[in-house]
Each structure stands twice: as structure tokens, then as C-alpha cells.
Structure 1
């Protein structure tokens, strides 16, 4: 089983660029932002939400460890009204394809009891059918579907 450990500020400083880049790419891919503005919009969004970095109230950045020293990725979630919402989940490239995404979510489910959470919400972009299928197998249900068509 994986262990989730509170991320240190210097770790956040390292992964912040990846969060910004990945979010920008996702928003461009689904047509919400133009490529030439995406990085700046992503940076503004992240800095607004995580204004105090790892110490932002009700936001939790956790490093996922396979062993005591082997980092396999990270997860960022927030808690509101006894609900956990997963903002980002990243598995490092060398560990992809080994069900670590599922293992991180399972570790989050266990950790959520510490926060007295009653449910976990997560988001997946519609094109990510593999992640959606995995989450459904874990018992997550689709609650909303957004669709668009370029015209």
C-alpha cells in the first residue's frame, strides 16, 4: 500500500511548474483556453487557489511513497463540507501503467477518515476513458457530464 505524506514547501516549488503545465495542456486540449494564453491562465489560477502554497487552508498536497523513500507521484485535494475534492493527481512517468493512480486514490480514501470526510469527488476530463473506467471500477459514479462541440 502507498503512503501519503504532507508535501514540504520545497517539494511544492519543484512540482508547481508541472501542475501549471499539465493544467494548461488539459484546458487547451478540451477547448477551454487558447494555447497562447494557457500557461499564464493556469499560473494565475494556481496562484489564486494555492496562495499560501502547502500551507493554504483546507488544501492538502501529499507526496505518494511506494516505499519509505521512493516517490511515485503526488495528489492535491481540498476539503469542504466533509467532502474531499481531488484537484490533481500525478503519477511520475517511470511508475505509470502499474495501477499507482488507483493505489493513490485508495490511500486517499483511507486518509479521508482522518478528516471525517463523508465522500470523495474527483474530476477527469472526458477523453480520459481509462481513468474514468478505473474510477468506476472503484465504485465512483458519474455525477455530471459536460459536452461541447466546436462550430
Structure 2
């Protein structure tokens, strides 16, 4: 993993991209950080990790783009304006082991999404964010289906991205 500090020009480009992909609040965290670094990674579709003052703030995935790290979401209390699915307690341990989100585990949907869009995964009981993924079905398909994979999990609590942040 190669890691280096971003130039002012590259930092500005990242902030502009973050505004579009994860929202202005998270982009502002990057912009206000003294030290912004990128680590080049090749792992399961992950291409870049962006560190803001030593903490993983963003991850870039092939064919998906930027997502915020869950550590940043919890540390700063800022959640991107993505649609959400709420999953039952039976699905939570599986998702926290890296499993994709299956239709039967989804108990509610907040917002609208098409195939290929970023989605927040929350636990039903307390509404806590447990993962971020990309939809494999549209909202209508999820609501009308009784089986199948609905969301490909990209990042979940306790994964490698989380571990890099919490050190």
C-alpha cells in the first residue's frame, strides 16, 4: 500500500468530488483537515483510501466511486444523504461478517434507489449504520421480491477499513 500526502490541487479536486458523491458536510471535513493523504490499494474493488488527519475518511471503489468511512460517520456524526435499508437482527451478524444484504433481511426502506446506487444499511432496532453498499436491485424490485441479494456490501463495521481508522 503506497501512501502519500495530497497536493493542494489534488485536495481541492477530492473535496469537489466528495461534495458530489458524499455530500457537503463530509467534504467540509476533508477540506478543513490539515493533513490529507491517499493510499493506493488494490483489494476487492477498493482502489484508494483517503486519510484526513490520520483517520480513514473516504474510500474509492471501482465502478462505485467514493463512500465515507463508517469510522468518520461515527466519529463526526455525519451520515451521507443516501437511501437506507433497515435490516432485522438476524441479518446484522452476517452483514458484520461481510455478507451481502439479502432481501428477506430488509424490513424497511427509506428513500429511493436504482440498481448501482449507494445505500446505507442500518439495524432496525436502533437505526445505527452498520454498512454501506451498492444496490443490486431497485427499491421496487426489493419490495416485490422475497429472495435474492439486494445490496453488495462494500464497507461494514469492523472490516479492514474500520480497523485502519481505529488504530
Question: Aligning the two structures, in what range does the TM-score lie when normalised by the shorter sequence?
Answer: 0.3 to 0.5
Higher strand share: 2
Structure in which a larger fraction of residues adopt helix: 1
Q: Give TM-score, length-normalised by structure 1.
A: 0.37
TM-score normalised by the chain length of structure 2: 0.34
The higher-RCO structure (CA 8 Å, 6+ apart) is: 1
